[in-house]
Amino acid sequence: MKADIEHWARRLAALAADSEVPGASVAFGYDGEVYECATGVLNTATGAPVRSDSLFQIGSVTKVWTATQLMLLVEDGRVTLDTPVAEILPEFRVLDREATAAITLRHLLTHTSGIDGDLFLDTGRGDDCLRRYVEACADLEQTFPVGDSHSYCNSGFVIAGRVVERLTGTVWDQALREQICEPLGLTHTWTLPEDVLRFGAAVGHDEQGAVVPQWGLPRSVGPAGLICARAADVVAFGRAHLTPGALLADPAALRQAQVDLPNPHAGGRQWGIGWSLDEWDGHQVVSHTGDTIGQHAALWVLPELGTVIAALINGGRSVEFQHRLASELLRELHAIDVPAPIAPPEQSVQFDVAPFTGVYERAGSRIHVTAHEAGLRLRTEPTGILVGLARSRTLDLVAVDATTFVGRDEGDSIWDAVVFEQRPDGPSYLHYSGRATPKTG
């Protein structure tokens, strides 16, 4: 049965208005066809309208593309997932010598390397930017021993992109075109501003709807989050992961669980190769989201049903919008009930605040957890290179169980999950926003 795209265009406009989203572009592949619709403006200062062929920053959804590039090289026999990174990049090193020797490609693609990985370092616009970025990783510390946990690691994917460069003999941007874009016929997928600006390009907006002062991230973090694309191209990429031979001989290998997530309330229960893995109403869902400076993206793939959804927006309450959109689409298309986001329990949970209070710190972020009249208060503080890129957040935490809490910053409509982990033979960790942050004081 065909989808009613006029209905979905109306619903997209209504959902965007409800979540204060300036502009949105959505595409979905369903029952063998691809549907597209768009609403709003690319830029509130100019009023330029969003069209279905407009380009948005897809942020960290890029990581699945980089993982796919490496898996293509694995299938070609050029490397294995368990090849140490230092074997391919002899110049690679982090502060811990044992970690330098132990980190493999699998660790990079599953966020289990333990590298303290929010290094948003601008190493220039030259073709040597990834090489210079990898050199700068020499001072990165370990959040945890290699393979011991899961913590979202942007640096790991930049290093993975450099591995692609070394094995293909070309810069990551060009390798992306040759390995993925050209085979799939993607005409509206680009990485560099001079290419993106040939199309209608979205700009990011802050919580008040104002245009953000910085358009994009530096080229040096490209493999972690620099792709710009139209929604239909993102859907085409997702559909290629359902068809053996479209890109990969065995795309299902990327959605095999590699690690259980310590905080299973933040978008998935497990991680595969590049993909976040979950189950909605009995159906496997593989997905990834992306956030840049005022832009947000989501890609959901339901392998059993063959349905792929891509949502691209340029501001507003992104998590709320994405959840409502996915819920409506999947209820209508497949009678699937998308799980509701985590929320406080009906009855309060009693707990001792003392084990949780203190300072938790990793590169780019310091988190203060203090006693509060309601129980606990969490306050994030951007540090170092993230000052000016990330904003401070304050969450009054409500206990869900003995180790799981939820909180919302002012203006948020969706609760964030926070999980505390006490290792019997090591430090305590705070798992929030996909990151493991060790207790330091």
Which residues are part of the catalytic machinery?
60
Q: Are 88 and 315 in contact (CB under 8 A)?
A: no
Burial class (CB in 10 A: 0-12, 13-18, 19+), 46: exposed
Report the distance separating Cα 31 and Cα 429, nearest Å.
44
Closest CA to 169 of 73, 63, 66: 73
Task: Quote the DSSP letter at residue 148.
Answer: S
Kind of pairing between the strands at 296-302 and 33-40:
unpaired
Helices (H), ranges, 260-362: 318-334
E strands in 200-342 = 228-229, 259-260, 270-271, 276-280, 283-291, 296-302, 307-313
Closest CA to 432 of 413, 419, 414: 419
Tokens in use for 85? 């990174």
Tokens in use for 73? 């090289």
Report the distance separating Cα 267 and Cα 149, nearest Å.
17
Provide the residue count of the chain.
441
Tell me how far CA of residue 103 lies from CA of 70, 184, 367, 376, 410, in angstroms: 15, 32, 27, 36, 39
> Starting from the edge strand earliest in sequence, which strands make up the sheet with 189-190, in order?
56-57, 228-229, 189-190
Report the distance separating Cα 192 and Cα 92, nearest Å.
25
Report the distance separating Cα 410 and Cα 316, nearest Å.
14
Residue type present at position 109? L
